[in-house]
A and B are shown apart, each in its own frame.
Chain A
């Protein structure tokens, strides 16, 4: 009897802890969500009931904010980054996974180590370099920077997935008559597809949310969405309603992607991390 009551209490405690955690995480998002549909004057009142308006979503695309341009920049930069990063990372990951390379461990560690360098440390060299070769404030420049950021991550993650494919399967395909490239195309890629998809989406999220480099390396033509948020300042102070509307626009693709990779998320995380 006592044991059962105790269990009930424990369950209740557990549930409330989870609820608190969810609350802490969701309240800011809920606030933004509401603010995006409020008028400027309503924003500072913690009203739960108000007359919702879609006006903010229109305003952010109009002058002087031109969010459409930034949305386009963000989309192109993140998309091209992923499209370039995944094939290159897959090739690198396959080599690391399947061939015994000289200095393999060193290379892998160095690749990982680039992730540990604080962005602020290398941002100035990047700025000077890009200024000299004319890549400042260009999408190509941003794509290059983003590639450098996501590649180590993608290589390690995809390597984890490829390591998980039994070598027997590949060898069977080779004996069955496939060249190495056919093995990769017919066997490895289909089997690693969930991993590639997960890695691709992770890279997209990283590139999409990248802030620091975009802040320093762009000023007009190649400005991305996260930087665009800083525009919503006016004489009357921060335009929180517009800021929130833009925030929703930034978050929306992330929600969609999260839904897609929900299935592979844990698998991808653990495979990339543990192996």
Chain B
């Protein structure tokens, strides 16, 4: 059990900066998710913590020890890889036992500990098989069992669910969450899947171009995005980002005259962010403005209405029993409590 502290961590390959002077503190027993699109430096950050990649600059602390010069084996971390990283020539039992054996655990302890770990991930009946004979989900469980068989200071998980099919991913996500609450070990989890980040994390660090854009609880990230990138990246469907200006406290779309009260000083260029859930759909004439429907989609659990608002399209979430046709006019009203303004040039949030 330990905290992980990164101080001004940088990783460069030639001119390419993968991680750019980032500092981060993961507290003891915390589940921290590094979230970002591919190539944002999240995996590199994790690999530096594991010791598989050497930082160009900066310090990595695990507990009260600076581990920059420690080999991976001496850092007392356990890692789960995207492609599982199982040992194909060993049985499942031997795979799980490997971290114990290689660290010289007394033989009598190995068997009960492997069995316990296998039980926790529900693998007991497969212990004599080889990885080849298991399905993707089962293989990922073996990788998990191999990580939890020891009690390491830190768990590192590199997109552990992304090779599984969609349905299995949801089940495994819940199992992972259950397991992590049970084990209470500091965990750093890398993913590009925002749902995984939202559901699993105590805190999320959203990364882009090697820089942490925002660090906060899933609630904060979702409801109080720090900048345009975070706003656009988190949420499904993605947050509506509408270009326009502020004139006398009213938001005016670039091409149109439609107005929504937002308050604040006048600005020539501004981006208004609003989530689909925060747009109330009503009959024509009953909202802030009336707009034609560009497309009507029924997902079963809700309806998604893409509307043509000036030159832009905006997506709103409607009641699951709502039925409309393309080109119908509807009224939409934006929830004034959950509107976000951004500077389109810097991407930063404008708080009024």
Contacts and interface: CB of A to CB of B under 8 A. Distances in A.
Interface stretch (B23-31, B73-81, B185-193, B207-215): B73-81
Nearest to A182: B102
B159 to A, nearest CB: 12
Contact of B102 (A166, A171, A177, A191): A177
A173 B71 contact: no
A169 B51 CA distance: 15
A168 B71 contact: no
How many of chain B's residues touch chain A, expressed as a range? 20 to 34
Contact of A171 (B81, B86, B87): B81
Given A182-B102, A186-B102, A174 B72 contact: yes
B308 interface: no
Interface string B71-103: 111010111011111111100000000110011
Contacts of B156: 175
Interface string B282-312: 0000000000000000000000000000000
Contacts of A182: 102
A178 interface: yes
A187 interface: yes
A52 interface: no
A191 B99 contact: no
Interface in B103-146: 103, 143, 146
Nearest to B82: A168
Contacts of B83: 166, 168
Contacts of A173: 85, 87, 98, 102
A176 interface: yes
A68 interface: no
Given A168-B81, A168-B83, A175 B52 contact: yes
B89 A175 contact: no
B315 interface: no
B87 A174 contact: no
Nearest to B90: A190
How many of chain A's residues touch chain B, expressed as a range? 10 to 19
Contact of A176 (B51, B82, B84, B146): B146
B73 A175 contact: yes
A169 B84 CA distance: 8
Interface in B26-58: 50-52
Nearest to B81: A168
Interface in B202-239: none
Given A166-B85, A168-B85, A187-B87, A176 B98 contact: yes
Contacts of A171: 50, 52, 72, 79, 81, 85
Contacts of B78: 175-176
A168 B131 CA distance: 14
A190 B89 contact: yes
A169 B87 contact: yes
Interface string A161-190: 000001011011111111100100011001
B102 A169 contact: no
Nearest to B79: A175
Contacts of B146: 172, 176
Interface string B50-72: 11100000000000000000011
Contacts of A174: 51-52, 71-73
Nearest to A167: B85
Nearest to B73: A177
Nearest to B83: A168
A177 B83 CA distance: 19
Given A166-B83, A171-B85, A190-B89, A176 B102 contact: yes
B86 A172 contact: yes
A166 B82 CA distance: 12
Residue among B79, B83, B84, B85 with most chain A CB within 10 A: B85
B196 to A, nearest CB: 20
B79 A172 contact: yes
Residue among A172, A182, A186 with most chain B CB within 10 A: A172
A149 B224 CA distance: 68
A22 B51 CA distance: 56
A169 B52 CA distance: 12
Given A171-B85, A172-B87, A175-B78, 19 more contacts: A166-B83, A168-B83, A168-B85, A169-B86, A171-B79, A171-B81, A172-B85, A172-B143, A172-B146, A174-B52, A175-B52, A175-B72, A175-B156, A176-B78, A176-B102, A179-B73, A186-B102, A191-B87, A191-B88
22 contacts: A168-B85, A169-B85, A169-B87, A171-B72, A171-B81, A172-B85, A172-B86, A172-B146, A173-B85, A173-B102, A174-B71, A175-B52, A175-B72, A175-B75, A175-B79, A176-B146, A177-B73, A177-B102, A178-B73, A178-B102, A191-B87, A191-B88
Interface of B: 50-52, 71-73, 75, 77-79, 81-89, 98-99, 102-103, 143, 146, 156
